[in-house]
Amino acid sequence: MPITKAKKVALHKRAQILVADLWQLFEGKGLCDFSDIDSITMFADYRVPQSLQYFGAFQYSESLLDYLKSEQLLESGDPREVEIRGCSIEAVERIVEIVNKYLGKRKVNAIQMDNFLWGFRREKAEEMKAFPYHRVRSIYY
């Protein structure tokens, strides 16, 4: 399938991290009692997809997998980069939904799930070498 640029997509990862960090630091209280905190998505970085692959929640096409294994840089905004980041957001949203069904009253959001998956990737750094990630140089993340 050919790669096309149908629409520009902006991912505001750093802005989201700032809000999430403040919310977590102040435990959602005072000025950081954000009523819409659950509307923030995961941070669409390049490492969480490794954890998603590890848990079987994420799978690349053979051609994309081959490209990622070659460790070539993608250009910032490349449709493959945007697709990986967008699919990461969707995968985490689905995981949060499933986890919350099982938790009952206690709920998690995408911020907490992102933190778990990112931390898990760091804990399992050696094992994660088996799962390629996209490489992009950008000032936007």
Q: Catalytic one among 38, 45, 66, 78?
A: 45
The three-class DSSP label of residue 1 is coil
Concerning whether 38 is annotated as a catalytic residue, the answer is no
Q: How far apart are CA 128 and CA 120, in angstroms?
A: 10
Residues annotated as catalytic are 45
